[in-house]
Amino acid sequence: MKKLFLICSISYVAIYSAEGPFRYLLNLFGADSMIFARDLLILLPLMLLFVSQSFRGRVHPAYWVFLAVVGVHGSISYLNFHTMLPAVYGAKFLMPLLFGFIAATSLTDMRGRPFAVFCIIWLVTVTALAVDKIDGEHLFPWIGMKATIGDLKVEISQNWDITSGPDRRVAGFTRSSIDAAMLLPMLALTIAPRYRFFVRLFVVTASEWALYLTTQKGAAIAFGVIGFVLCLPRKSWYRCLNGLCLAFAVLAVLLPLLSQGLLVSTEGGTFSLASLGMRVELTWPDAFRWIANNNVFPFGAGLGGIGGAQRQYAADSLNPADNIFVFLYGNFGLLGVFYLIWAACAGLRIPSGLQSRSIVSLCLLAQNIGYGAVLSMMEGQVSMLFTGAAMGSLWLLRHETAATRWSDNFRTGPSRLIPQAPPRVALPGNRTL
């Protein structure tokens, strides 16, 4: 079962990294909706493991937490908007988190061929972004492609308001520059900490340069800070990364709250404050108003109460939230604050002997929380996948230390103590003089 999760994880990331070409090929055959078959790589292994563990009376507690979260917060959104669509959408973006939590070290501690495949995906992603910047408009036929799936319109390599020239945003083989900025740090931070200084520096530098090409400032800044930490002595990594997780979480909460009423310029080029100004003056105030008008205290607007799910029931009020705290508060209310704190504190108090095994997980958490200060990371499937893997790996470290029954997520049978022969001196007739 663990091998199945590993294969599906790699396949899912590979398809995500080449979503542009995949969607282009599907469009040629009029099968745009087949892109949703990718979700089966997440759904089927989860179902198989659940059924397998159910028959043996030992279901992983993450399943029950997932069902409780979807059930409680989904009920709030149903009572609020009188449709199940928000809850279904919310369950969909939470599913990669559950999958990643159970896959755990299959993603954060890869070895051998699976790790080599990840390195290849990273290299191809960086190269594709560079080629896209040079002449992607002619070499990549999927750029600018539009597809309609049901009532939804999908655009490939959508470039905001910069569509040509040296400032053009690039996406490489991914669907958009945002997807590239979500994926690339996950790959780089899974790879870089394993190597010595010069290889690590190369991976970090090449990834930072590629992120610069996407013009996603939030991702580049968060990754740059984490990359700097990885250039410090290894003994300082654990404390610094935990500090970054907490600092980024505080930033994500305070940024939309303390910027209320500020006037920020919404004009400028690629690396101006224009996008931040749009969030401060429009996105975040509108999001708080929407939540206030649809709030079921203390549960917020309910699962799917803000973000992409609004396309299904409140398209005229669509708000991307563009901040992980705002998104969590809209979907989960005050509990969303608890979920954010839980994620930020997940790596604290790891025993000193196991801290080196927590570095990759802490890097992934820090990147997703840091980028989440200006983006709703929970709607990014690949970011949720790696966030779940990071939290699952840290959870396993704690249980491994305590030698509990959940030190292995894939064990399907009940835990049993293996009887051992007593020491010779304990046998009758054996006495130590």
What residues contact 143, with CB distance under 8 A and at least 6 apart? 20, 132, 136, 137, 156, 157, 171
Residue pLDDT, tens place only, 77-87: 999 999 999 99
Q: Mean pLDDT across the stretch 25-36?
A: 83
Kindly state whether residue 416 falls inside one of the protein's structural domains: no
**What is the percentage of the chain residues whose pLDDT exceeds 70?**
86
Determine if the peptide bond prior to 320 is cis (ω within 30°). Answer: no
Whole-number Å distance between alpha carbons of 182 and 40: 21
Query: What value does the mean pLDDT take over residues 182-196?
Result: 95
% pLDDT > 90, the chain: 60
The answer to whether position 421 is within a domain reads no
User: Is residue 198 very low, low, confident or very high in pLDDT (cuts 50, 70, 90)?
Assistant: very high
The answer to whether residue 196 scores a pLDDT higher than 50 is yes
Most confident segment among 36-45, 200-209, 348-357: 200-209
> Residue 160 pLDDT > 60, yes or no?
no
Number of structural domains (the chain) is 1
- Residue 82's alpha-carbon distances to 74, 86, 151, 314, 346, in angstroms, are 11, 10, 20, 12, 35
Residue 432: per-residue pLDDT: 43
d(CA 363, CA 226): 7
190 forms beta bridges with none
* pLDDT value at 408 more than 90: no
CA–CA distances in Å: residue 152 to residues 26, 95, 310 = 16, 21, 12
Lowest mean pLDDT across 102-116, 256-270, 347-361:
256-270
Count of Cβ atoms closer than 10 Å to residue 253 Cβ: 20
Which H helix or E strand runs over 336?
Answer: helix 334-344
pLDDT value, residue 243:
96
Position 75 in a domain: yes
Confidence of residue 95 (pLDDT cuts 50, 70, 90): very high
How far is it, in rounded angstroms, from Cα 334 to Cα 345? 17
- Using pLDDT thresholds of 50, 70 and 90, give the confidence band for residue 426: very low
What does the pLDDT look like over 382-398, one tens digit per residue?
Answer: 999 999 999 999 999 88
92: confidence class by pLDDT, cuts 50, 70, 90: very high
Q: How far apart are CA 219 and CA 375, in angstroms?
A: 9
Spatial separation of the C-alpha atoms in residues 286 and 164, rounded to whole Å: 30
Per-residue pLDDT at 28 exceeds 90? no
Residues whose CB falls within 8 Å of the CB of residue 136, separated by 6 or more in sequence, listed in order = 143, 157, 170, 172
Question: How far is it, in rounded angstroms, from Cα 35 to Cα 150?
Answer: 13
Q: Which of 6, 92, 44, 80 is nearest to 308 (CA)?
A: 92
Q: 228-247 pLDDT, tens per residue?
A: 999 999 999 999 999 999 99
Whether 418 shows a pLDDT value over 80: the answer reads no
The answer to whether residue 289 sits within a structural domain is: yes
30 located within any domain: yes
Distance, CA of 105 to CA of 391 (rounded, Å): 10
**Quick one: pLDDT at residue 419?**
45
- Please check whether residue 306 lies inside any domain of the structure: yes
Question: Which residue range forms the structural domain that includes residue 339?
Answer: 2-403
Residues contacting residue 373 through CB under 8 Å, at least 6 positions apart: 218, 222, 248, 251, 252, 255, 323, 324
For the ranges 124-128, 293-297, 397-401, which has the lowest average pLDDT?
A: 397-401
pTM more than 0.85: yes
* C-beta separation of 73 from 299 below 8 A: yes
The whole-number pLDDT of residue 76 equals: 94
pLDDT in tens, 318-348: 999 999 999 999 999 999 999 999 999 999 9
- Token pair listed for 373: 């200060």
**Taking all residues of the chain, what is their mean pLDDT, rounded to a whole number?**
87
Q: Tell me which of 356 and 135 has the higher pLDDT.
A: 356
DSSP 145: -
| pLDDT exceeds 50 at position 150 | yes
Name the residue among 239, 35, 30, 13 with its Cα closest to residue 107.
Answer: 13
Residue 139 pLDDT level (bands cut at 50, 70, 90): confident
Instruction: Say yes or no to pLDDT of 178 above 70.
Output: yes
In a domain, 283, yes or no: yes
Going by pLDDT thresholds of 50, 70 and 90, the confidence category of residue 409 is confident
* Residue 121 placed within a domain: yes
Whether 390 contacts 362, CB under 8 Å:
yes
Residue 149: strand pairing partners: 152
Mean pLDDT for the stretch of residues 282-286? 92
